[in-house]
Structure 1
Amino acid sequence: MESIWMRREKLPNFQPLTSDKKTEAVVIGGGMAGILTAYLLKHRGVSVLLLEADRIGSGQTKNTTAKIALSHNLLYDKLIQKIGREAAGLYLGANWEAILKYEQIITEHNIACMFERVPSFLYSVSDREKIEKEVEAVNYLGCAGEFTTTTSLPFPVEGAIRYPAQAQFHPLLFLEGIARDIEIYEKTRVLRVEEHKVFTEAGPKVEADHVIFATHYPFVNRPGYYFMRMHQERSYAAAFSGAGRMDGMYLGTDTKWDYSFRNSGEYLILGGESHRTGENLTEASIRKLRDKAALWWPQCRTEAMWSAQDCMSPDQIPYIGRYSARRPYWYVATGFSKWGMSSSMVAAMLISDLIRKVPNPWEEVFSPQRGITLSTAKHMAVDGTKAAAGLIKQVFAVPDHVLENLTIGEGGIVEMQGQKVGVYKREDGKVFTVSVRCPHLGCQLEWNPQEKSWDCPCHGSRFSYKGKLIDNPAQNDIGGMQDDQ
């Protein structure tokens, strides 16, 4: 599966790191957050270089729906109740500043990335009251949110909140426009970080005054303990030709109706069907999107299908700032909770201010060291329980398949020579065997039949059926072997 953004991908190639380097700041991770942070640091007079394990934009950035908005689901009424009006207003203001900053950069560099200002809508098909409450909350914070029942959706709604002057764009064309001016090293995987030293897989190391982790999910477990404070979710998207024209960007706020809509050129992008990573045991998600599109626009045609993975913080606020009180020269940007484009810019602005010792009013709101509320503690307890279940399953669960009974195109956990292994029978008859123990913290992996991958239900690491690492926090492959018989 490949996103619609990959069809017009023009990203430049960068060479791997081949010798030791010393710099003021090093950014680990070449997605939107990492590239933006490096860009702002350089343009604010800080010497910086960036290390990317694969190619820039090759992680979650290429899979986004590319909405730049402050309409982060029905969030502001909750924030006012949990962290107060002032802090909620700072969160809203930070994301508004993110939109303005994107527009400024695009204008200054004349970047052709399909950037356009459009309204953003949050809608409900069943609950008018919750929409009305959110309208009241955002207006209380000084934002011009409007209640409406008039939309361009192909179905009626009980209510929607309209945020004017939000934005959408082509994320990879934007990266292409700003990346060439940054010192970037691709195919340079970081294995570990010790104080101010960053060690890469190939051998060369980087020494820096400041280390920024922009790796989607932080791979250093201690200090920070981010694996105890987040979980990961997958969602799906498809692009259709011959489908409807939207008058803006839309997102459903109902548990069973989270469908996202936006146009990009001649295509309509439809997203949704979210679930926790490692809990997708059927092949239904993409099929459901196609079925919905065919129902709403019978003449439409599927042009692309893809999936995304998001780090979910328990209070829906990203972790942006100092990695840990024990490492004040480390910084992190994670937990974007499905709003990676606006959050990436917020992270870049905030972290660059912290490094340059410029006061920033957003620091406490996004601080990774912020206090834990009762609600946050409950969410963390749920995540902890699921992680414990994954660990227990690795030790005690009985394999769920017998090798001989696996059909072509099927994967499952079987027992071989007294050990549990993951097996996939490819359509051409080849058999691939891997370990089902996640190298991150040892949880048992689950077979994802929709994407032909092995996914960790504890912390969201993912691996191909051949055992190659797809998504972190794991840093290593799970090995594997192929039986050609």
Structure 2
Amino acid sequence: MNSVWSESCSFKKREVLNKDIEVNTVIIGAGIAGILTAYLLKKNGIDVVVIEAKEIASGNTRNTTAKITIQHDLIYDKLIKEFGEEKALMYLNANNLALNTFRDIVYENNIDCEFEEKPAYVYSLGETEPLKLEYEAAKKLGIDAEIVDKVKLPFNVKAALRYNNQAQFNPLKFLDVISKDLTIYEDTRVIEVEENLVVTNRGKINAKHIVVATHYPIVNVPGYYFLRMHQERSHVIALENADDVEGMLIDIDKSGYSFRNYKDLLLFGGIPKRTGKNEEGGCYEKLREVAKILYPNSREKYHWSAQDCMTIDGIPYIGKYSSSTDNVYVATGFNKWGMTSSMVAAIINSDMILGKENDFSEIFSPRRFDMSLSIDTIMEDTIETAKNFIAQKIDIPNEQIGHIKKGHAGIVEYNGEKVGVYRDDNGKEFVVTTKCPHLGCQLQWNADELSWDCPCHGSRFDYKGNWLDSPAIKGLNDY
């Protein structure tokens, strides 16, 4: 399952770290957040290296829908009500700067990455009051937005909120250009971070500043990000012979669909699931069924899924990793808006390293925490985590390995232990532990991706036990 971006661009292979080194700044993670941070620092004369456990942009960066927009669902009415107009304006100003910085980098470097300025819409098939409230918030903050009753979709909407002058692009073509002059070590996996030292499987890096840009933070303590986020997966199919929707569109209903074009393709997305909650699969099939109704002459060319870190209050965590780590920085919790938020993170963290002030870092600070504003989300995440901790320790199924059908997986008792078993179409069995190496939650089968996923914090592993996604830093067999 490769995204359209993966098929359109490949990066030159980088060397592994082969010795101990000393630098001003080391960035952990060569996704878009890490590369942008390194790019901004290098422009300011900072000696910076990036280390990556796999390859450049091999994680969620290549699975985005690549929208660069200040429109983040219905965020501004919520921000004003919960944090006040001043902090809502901080959020807006940061994302406006991010959008403009993307535009500047593309034009200044003449990057051929299909950068296009398009409107972004939030539409509703039913209730319109939330759109009206968001519109009032947008006007209060000075956003160029308007309510419309027609959009270029194959069904009628009750209303849509249009944000003008937003953008979309090909993220890998963009990163291929800005990463060329950066020092990036691939296949270099972090084992430990301590004070000014990053220990990897290839060598040690002594650095004045450390930026953790691993999508989900890999350092549990301090920071405790595993108590403040969960992860969700969403699914996309790219269709030929479908309409030009003339913008980027999302439904205010979480069970609704998103639309945006790329060249001659329509990227049609939806079916969000909490990571670790897709045992039966069928997400792509559901999208295909709906696509055939909406666009009966269309044909699927690609399909893929993305994973997003969801914070308890809907705002990313960007800045100092914790109050006790002045030289360590974090970029995470982008809540499905990874492109704009990655640039915001790059600007804030590079400014902090350079000793510059900016006017909006406060709203993104990981040190903020108001339990009263997010108690429902906290309780939901706590219950889910507790349930899967308990499940790992008790209730071992009595079924034997032989009952698993070809092409299916299950959790069984095997040689006195709880294990996950996948039987491929040829009948070959792949047995792994169901205990997540991150914090010990019970992994669950993902039938669409053929992976074992953690419903607590979102770590993922393929059916052979190989590591796919953080916060875990090793595979199921890497002991």
1:168 aligns with 2:162: no
Cα deviation 1:340-382 (Å, max 9, x = unaligned):
0000000000111111111111111000001324122331222
Cα deviation 1:84-114 (Å, max 9, x = unaligned):
0010011011111111000111111111000
**Conservation of the 8 A alpha-carbon contact between 1:232 and 1:311:** yes
1:253 maps to 252
**Conservation of the 8 A alpha-carbon contact between 1:239 and 1:303:** yes
1:95 aligns with 2:101: no
- The one-letter amino acid of 1:147's match is I
**Conservation of the 8 A alpha-carbon contact between 1:23 and 1:48:** yes
Rounded Cα–Cα distance in structure 2 between residues aligned with 1:446 and 1:267: 33
- The one-letter amino acid of 1:76's match is Y
Rounded Cα–Cα distance in structure 2 between residues aligned with 1:291 and 1:327: 50
After TM superposition, the score normalised by the length of structure 2 is 0.98
**Conservation of the 8 A alpha-carbon contact between 2:255 and 2:272:** no
**Conservation of the 8 A alpha-carbon contact between 1:28 and 1:212:** yes
1:283 maps to 281
Comparing 355-364 and 32-41, the one that deviates more: 355-364
Once the two structures are TM-superposed, the CA of residue 398 in structure 1 deviates from its matched residue by 2.7
**Conservation of the 8 A alpha-carbon contact between 1:119 and 1:167:** yes
Rounded Cα–Cα distance in structure 2 between residues aligned with 1:165 and 1:177: 24
Comparing 219-228 and 284-293, the one that deviates more: 284-293
2:210 maps to 211
1:435 maps to 433
Rounded Cα–Cα distance in structure 1 between residues aligned with 2:154 and 2:397: 45
Rounded Cα–Cα distance in structure 2 between residues aligned with 1:256 and 1:356: 42
Query: 3-state DSSP class of the match of 1:413?
Result: strand
- The one-letter amino acid of 1:340's match is G
**Conservation of the 8 A alpha-carbon contact between 2:255 and 2:270:** no
After TM superposition, the score normalised by the length of structure 1 is 0.97
1:447 maps to 445
Cα deviation 1:379-436 (Å, max 9, x = unaligned):
1222112111110000112327432221100100111121111100001111100000
1:301 aligns with 2:299: yes
**Where do residues 328-407 of structure 1 align in structure 2 (5 Å cutoff)?**
328-399=326-397, 401-407=399-405
Rounded Cα–Cα distance in structure 2 between residues aligned with 1:192 and 1:208: 14
2:10 maps to 10
2:410 maps to 412
Rounded Cα–Cα distance in structure 1 between residues aligned with 2:318 and 2:53: 21
Once the two structures are TM-superposed, the CA of residue 130 in structure 1 deviates from its matched residue by 1.0
Comparing 126-135 and 214-223, the one that deviates more: 126-135
The percent identity for this pair of structures is 47
Rounded Cα–Cα distance in structure 1 between residues aligned with 2:378 and 2:47: 38
1:114 aligns with 2:95: no
**Conservation of the 8 A alpha-carbon contact between 1:24 and 1:48:** yes
Query: 3-state DSSP class of the match of 2:328?
Result: strand
Q: CA RMSD in A?
A: 1.0
2:105 maps to 105
Rounded Cα–Cα distance in structure 2 between residues aligned with 1:10 and 1:281: 32
**Conservation of the 8 A alpha-carbon contact between 1:401 and 1:412:** no
Query: 3-state DSSP class of the match of 1:14?
Result: coil
Query: 3-state DSSP class of the match of 2:374?
Result: helix
Rounded Cα–Cα distance in structure 2 between residues aligned with 1:429 and 1:389: 32
Gaps of at least 5 residues in structure 1 are 481-485
Once the two structures are TM-superposed, the CA of residue 201 in structure 1 deviates from its matched residue by 1.2
- The one-letter amino acid of 2:377's match is H
**Conservation of the 8 A alpha-carbon contact between 2:434 and 2:442:** yes
Aligned residue among 283, 308, 311 for 2:309:
311
Cα deviation 1:283-329 (Å, max 9, x = unaligned):
22111111111111111000000001000001110000000010010
Rounded Cα–Cα distance in structure 2 between residues aligned with 1:47 and 1:440: 32
**Conservation of the 8 A alpha-carbon contact between 1:11 and 1:173:** no
**Where do residues 16-55 of structure 1 align in structure 2 (5 Å cutoff)?**
16-55=16-55
Once the two structures are TM-superposed, the CA of residue 185 in structure 1 deviates from its matched residue by 0.6
Once the two structures are TM-superposed, the CA of residue 440 in structure 1 deviates from its matched residue by 0.5
Rounded Cα–Cα distance in structure 2 between residues aligned with 1:207 and 1:119: 45
- The one-letter amino acid of 2:119's match is P
Rounded Cα–Cα distance in structure 2 between residues aligned with 1:61 and 1:233: 15
**Conservation of the 8 A alpha-carbon contact between 2:231 and 2:307:** yes
1:178 aligns with 2:192: no
Once the two structures are TM-superposed, the CA of residue 149 in structure 1 deviates from its matched residue by 0.9
Gaps of at least 5 residues in structure 2 are none
Rounded Cα–Cα distance in structure 2 between residues aligned with 1:189 and 1:400: 38
- The one-letter amino acid of 2:364's match is F
Rounded Cα–Cα distance in structure 1 between residues aligned with 2:399 and 2:147: 52
Aligned residue pairs, count: 478
2:157 maps to 157
**Conservation of the 8 A alpha-carbon contact between 1:440 and 1:475:** yes
Cα deviation 1:124-168 (Å, max 9, x = unaligned):
111111111111111111102100111001111111100000000
- The one-letter amino acid of 1:172's match is L
Query: 3-state DSSP class of the match of 2:306?
Result: strand
1:221 aligns with 2:185: no
1:82 aligns with 2:75: no
